Amino acid sequence: MTEQSRDEQLKAFGRLLDIMDTLREKCPWDRKQTNESLRANTIEETYELCEAITENNDADIKKELGDLLLHIVFYARIGSEKGAFDIADVCNAICEKLIYRHPHVFGTAQADSAATVEKSWEELKLKERGGNKTVLAGVPRALPALVKAYRIQDKARNVGFDWDKRTDVWKKVHEELNEFEAEAENGDRDKMEGEFGDLIFSLINAGRLYKINPENALERTNLKFIRRFNYIENQLDRQQKSFRESTLDEMDALWDEAKKKGL
């Protein structure tokens, strides 16, 4: 498609704002909503966008971006009603932040690599008035644990706390695996959980060092497992057999079939 002009883009955004104002004034459901009532739906919409991105479905990405944009406009309208902020404040705040954190674009600083930009970004965040007081303060507590671990490690890297050579991480992975196995032998579930967490953390670190996003990698494996497991189930249905009526060897054979078929 042909990209629309900036005037057309602004007109479309203004139309959305007008529709939001009308809904807030005239629709009983929209008028009833609060930040708290919208929160769960916002999380759901975010995950739906992530799913569309994972599937590389441009039509769904467009749709889910619209749903998420609606929520942003909704929160801004509620903020305006409270006299706290409006959508212009939201836009101006992020504009000022972007300008401040990109001195190599809008100022005189130099940055010759993405890594340099990331390091500068974290340093500038610490200097901002009302910004993060510590390096890890900007990691949301509500993030899923796997994503949080990656963000923690990435932020630590940006201030120089990282392995000198990425291959050194494997020593840590093996160390954590051995410690988990030792606790598994002892049978102390609390210590097992702690060591298992350390093992996962070290594997996430390995993924980061090798430029692999662990969330994307794990989701890729989840989807692969679903495809192959569904194949097993479908083949058993054709044989008019249930899982309980099948042996593990039979199911493993069907799994290998699915694998050979590229599922």
Average pLDDT, the chain: 92
Structure tokens at 253: 């054979």
Residue 71 belongs to what H/E stretch? helix 58-81
pLDDT confidence of residue 223: 92
Note the pLDDT tens digit of each residue in 99-137: 999 999 998 888 888 878 877 877 777 777 666 678 888
pLDDT confidence of residue 140: 86
d(CA 78, CA 97): 23
Q: For residue 256, which amino acid is it? A: D
Give the number of C-alpha atoms closer than 13 A to the C-alpha of residue 112, restricted to the C-beta side. Answer: 0
pLDDT confidence of residue 131: 63
Note the pLDDT tens digit of each residue in 5-54: 999 999 999 999 999 999 999 999 999 999 999 998 999 999 999 999 98
pLDDT confidence of residue 114: 85
- Does position 142 have pLDDT exceeding 70, yes or no? yes
pLDDT confidence of residue 128: 72
pLDDT confidence of residue 115: 79
Note the pLDDT tens digit of each residue in 66-111: 999 999 999 999 999 999 999 999 999 999 999 999 999 998 888 8
Q: How many CB atoms lie within 10 A of CB 60?
A: 15
Q: How many CB atoms lie within 10 A of CB 144?
A: 8
Note the pLDDT tens digit of each residue in 157-171: 888 899 889 999 999
Note the pLDDT tens digit of each residue in 223-261: 999 999 999 999 999 999 999 999 999 999 999 999 999
Spell out a b/e string for 119-130, using b for 16 or more CB atoms within 10 Å of the CB, else e: bbebebbeeeee
User: DSSP for 31-55?
Assistant: HH--HHHHHHHHHHHHHHHHHHHHT
For residue 49, which of 30, 18, 74, 71 has the smallest C-alpha distance?
71
Structure tokens at 262: 């590229």
pLDDT confidence of residue 7: 96
- Please identify which residue in the block is written with the tokens 């039509």: 59
pLDDT confidence of residue 138: 80
